[in-house]
């Protein structure tokens, strides 16, 4: 996510995705400037040895 007027990126770490679904969450408690979040991004990278043609399905997005 990016925060503040300087648009500083903060890495939330990685989460392994399993075939039957994975819930991703972002803990903002340790992010400086979390009251001024400008962007949130998620990058999907193939696992080592993964084959082309994978798909990502997003069922729900919720900000709480």
Residue 28 near residue 34 (C-beta atoms within 8 A) = yes
Question: What is the DSSP annotation of 6-51?
Answer: TTEE---------TT--------TT-TTGGGEEE------PPTTPP
pLDDT greater than 70 at residue 33: yes
Q: What is the mean pLDDT of residues 39-48?
A: 78
What is the pTM for the complete model shown? Answer: 0.50
Radius of gyration of the chain (CA): 14
**What was the pLDDT predicted at 64?**
65
């Amino acid at each position: 996510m990016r925060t503040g007027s300087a648009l500083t990126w903060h890495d939330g770490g990685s989460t392994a995705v399993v075939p039957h679904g994975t819930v991703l969450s972002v803990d903002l408690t340790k992010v400086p400037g979390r009251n001024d979040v400008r962007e949130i991004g998620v990058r999907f990278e193939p696992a080592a040895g993964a084959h082309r043609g994978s798909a990502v399905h997003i069922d729900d997005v919720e900000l709480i």
